[in-house]
Chains A and B, each alone.
Chain A
Amino acid sequence: MAYSSSWSRALVQISPYTFSAIGIAVAIGISVLGAAWGIYITGSSLIGAAIKAPRITSKNLISVIFCEAVAIYGVIVAIILQTKLESVPASQIYAAESLRAGYSIFASGLIVGFANLVCGLCVGIIGSSCALSDAQNSSLFVKILVIEIFGSALGLFGVIVGIIMSAQATWPTKAA
C-alpha cells in the first residue's frame, strides 16, 4: 500500500461526489464558453459584412445556430450526468465501485466540455470567414458550410463518447 502522505493516497481520499460534481459543472460551463466564443466571433463579422451585403444575414445565421448547438449538447449531457448521481451509504463512499462511478462522471464531463469548447471555437472562426466570403461572392456560402458541418461533428463526437462513459457509471448498491 502507498505511504501515508503520497499523492495517490490523497487522490483516493477525495470523495467521488466531488469528482462527479466537478464533471457536471465542466460539462455545461465549458460548453457554454465554447458556444459563446464562437457566436461572438461569427456575429461581429456577420454584422459588419451585412452592411454592404444585406442579403447574407438570413443564410449566415446557420453559423450561429451551429455554435448554439454546442451549448445545447452541454446542457443535455449535464442533465444526463446529474441523473447518474446516486447516494451511497457512508461505508461505501470510498469503495472501488464508487470511485469508478465518480471518475467516469468526471471524465464524461471533461470530454464533453472540452470537445464542445474547441468545436464552438472552430465553428465560430469558420462562420466568420463564411460571412465575409459570402458577402463578396455568394457561390461560396454552400462550400464553406460543408467545412462548418465537419467542424460541428467534433462536438457530436464528444457527446457520444461522454454518454457512453457515463452509461456505465454504476454506484454500489446498499448491500455491502
Chain B
Amino acid sequence: MYGFEAMSFNIHGGYLEAIVRGYRSGLLTAADYNNLCQCETLDDIKMHLSATEYGPYLQNEPSPLHTTTIVEKCTLKLVDEYKHMLTQATEPMSTFLEYCTYGHMIDNVVLIVTGTLHERDVQELLEKCHPLGMFDSIATLAVAQNMRELYRLVLVDTPLAPYFSECITSEDLDDMNIEIMRNTLYKAYLEDFYRFCQKLGGATAEIMSDLLAFEADRRAVNITINSIGTELTRDDRRKLYSNFGLLCPYGHEELALCEDLDQVRGVVEKYPPYQSIFSKLSYGESQMLDKAFYEEEVKRLCLSYEQQFHYAVFFAYIRLKEQEIRNLMWISECVAQNQKSRVHDSVVFIF
C-alpha cells in the first residue's frame, strides 16, 4: 500500500538501502571534477582520484596509464559494489537488482555479434564487454549465423530469453538487422521492467515508472534522430517505440513522421517536462542533445533519493555511477589528447 512502506521495508531492505546511500555519498562532487579538469597528464588524474573513493583501485597501476585502464578500474569498483549488494539482497530486491543489468547484457550480446560479423577476435571482444552484463556461455555467441541460431544456442538459457519472441527471424545478421535487434530487445526489456515495478507497487512503482518512462522517451527520440535518412521505414520505426511513457501514443505517431531534427523538437516540446531539454539547444544543433538528456536524467535520478523505503535508489545509484564513469572517460580522453578546452562539453555534474 502506498504510504505505508516505512512499516515493513526495513525488514529486508533497510540495511542495503543505508549501504547504497553510503555509496552515493562517495560519488565525485563538482569540486572533484574541477580538480580533475585542471590536470595536465593522466598521472595527475590518477593522483587526484587516489584521494577519492577510487584510491584502492588505481594505486597499483603502473605508469604510463591509459584511459581505458582508468575506465576499467572505475567500472570494477561499480561491479564490486553491485555484487556486494546483490549477494545480500532477498526477493524481490534481488530480482530488481538483476533487472538493472539486463541492459548491459543486451549491449554485450550486440557487441559480440557485431564484432564477429566484422571478423574480430572473440577474446578481444570479450574484454570490451561490460562486466555487469556478463553471463556464462557468452563466448558461444560468436558461433551463431542468424538470429534463430543465436537464440537456440545461447540466449534461451539467459534472462534475455523472453525478450526474443519478437525478433527471431531466419535472416542473416547484418548491421541493420543487428541494430533493429538491439532496439527490439531493449524495448521488450524496458516494458518487462516497467511491468515488474508496477507489480511491486508503492513508492518503487511510482518512482521507477517516472525514471523508466523518461528512458523510454529518450530512446524513442534517439531512435528517431538516428534513423532519419536511413532505410528504416516509418512502420519499422514505430515498432521500436515502447508502449509506455509520456510520448506514447500520440507523440509516437508524430515522431514516426519526423524527417529532421527541428520536427522532432516540435513534437517533443509539446510535453512540458521535456521542454527544458530542447531549450538548451539552438536550432539545428544536435551534438549537445546527448548531454542535455544526460543532465535531465541525472536530475531525476538525484530526486529519487529524496524518498526513503523504495528500490529506485539502487537503480539510480547504478545509473549515476555509470554517468560518473562516462565523465571520467571524457576527462581522461581530453587530457590525453591535449584538448582541455573541450573538457566541459560533456561532463555532467552530479552534485
B239 contacts A by Cβ under 8 Å: no
Stretch from B6-14, B39-47, B138-146 at the A interface? B6-14
Measured between beta carbons, the chain B residues less than 8 angstroms from A131 are 18
Q: Which residues of B are found within 8 Å of A45, using beta-carbon distances?
A: 10, 14-15, 17-18
Q: How far apart are A125's CB and chain B's nearest CB, in angstroms?
A: 5
Question: Count of A-B contacts with CB under 8 A?
Answer: 61
Is B64 an interface residue when CB atoms closer than 8 A count as contact? no
Contact with A along B1-31 (1 / 0, CB 8 A): 0000011001100111111011101100000
Nearest chain A residue, comparing its CB with the CB of B23:
A52
A49 at the interface (CB under 8 A from B): yes
- Which residues on B sit within 8 Å (CB–CB) of A136? 21, 25
B308 within 8 A of A: yes
**Taking the nearest CB of chain B, how far is it from the CB of A72, in angstroms?**
22
Name the one of B6, B7, B19 contacting A48, with C-beta atoms under 8 angstroms: B19
Minimum CB–CB distance from A76 to chain B (whole Å) comes to: 26
Distance in Å from the Cβ of B351 to the closest Cβ of chain A? 11
- State whether A41 touches B18 (Cβ < 8 A): no
Closest chain B residue to A42, Cβ basis: B10
Q: With a CB–CB cut-off of 8 A, which chain B residues contact A47?
A: 15, 18
Known A-B contacts A41-B6, A44-B10, A129-B308; A135 and B15 likewise in contact (beta carbons under 8 Å): no
A40 at the interface (CB under 8 A from B): yes
| Given A125-B6, A128-B308, residue A53 in contact with residue B22 (CB < 8 A) | yes
User: Which residues A1-55 have CB closer than 8 A to chain B?
Assistant: 37, 40-41, 44-49, 51-53
> Which A residues are in CB contact (< 8 Å) with B17?
45, 48, 132
**Could you tell me if A128 and B25 are in contact, using CB atoms closer than 8 angstroms?**
no
Contacts of B26 in A (CB 8 A): 52
- Majority SS at the chain B contact face: helix
User: Are B7 and A52 in contact, CB atoms less than 8 angstroms apart?
Assistant: no
Q: Could you say which residues of chain B place their CB within 8 Å of the CB of A129?
A: 308
Interface residues of A in 109-141 (CB under 8 A from B): 121, 125, 128-129, 131-132, 135-136
- Compute how far the CA of A128 lies from the CA of B10 in the bound complex, rounded to whole angstroms: 9
**With A37-B7, A132-B308 known to touch, is A52 a contact of B22 (CB < 8 Å)?**
yes
Contact in complex: B14, A41 (CB < 8 Å): yes
CB proximity of B41 to chain A, nearest CB, Å: 31
CB distance from B347 to the nearest CB of A (A): 23
Give CA–CA (A131, B25) in the complex, Å.
14
Q: In the assembly, what is the distance between CA of A125 and CA of B14, in Å?
A: 11
**How far, in Å, is B254 (CB) from chain A's closest CB?**
43
| Bound-state Cα–Cα, A52 to B17, Å | 12
Bound Cα distance from A51 to B18, whole angstroms: 9
Q: Which residues of B contact A121 (CB under 8 A)?
A: 7
Residue pair B7, A132 in contact (C-beta under 8 Å): no
Which residues on A sit within 8 Å (CB–CB) of B10?
40-41, 44-45, 128
A-B CB proximity, top 7 nearest: A48-B18, A52-B22, A44-B14, A49-B18, A48-B15, A44-B10, A125-B6
- Beyond A37-B7, A48-B18, A52-B23, 14 extra complex contacts between A and B, CB < 8 Å: A41-B7, A41-B10, A47-B15, A48-B17, A51-B18, A52-B22, A52-B25, A128-B308, A132-B17, A132-B18, A132-B308, A135-B18, A135-B21, A135-B25
**Interface residues in chain A, defined as those with a beta carbon under 8 Å from any beta carbon in chain B:** 37, 40-41, 44-49, 51-53, 121, 125, 128-129, 131-132, 135-136
- Chosen A-B contacts, 8 in total, with CB atoms closer than 8 Å, are A41-B6, A41-B10, A41-B14, A47-B15, A47-B18, A51-B22, A52-B26, A131-B18
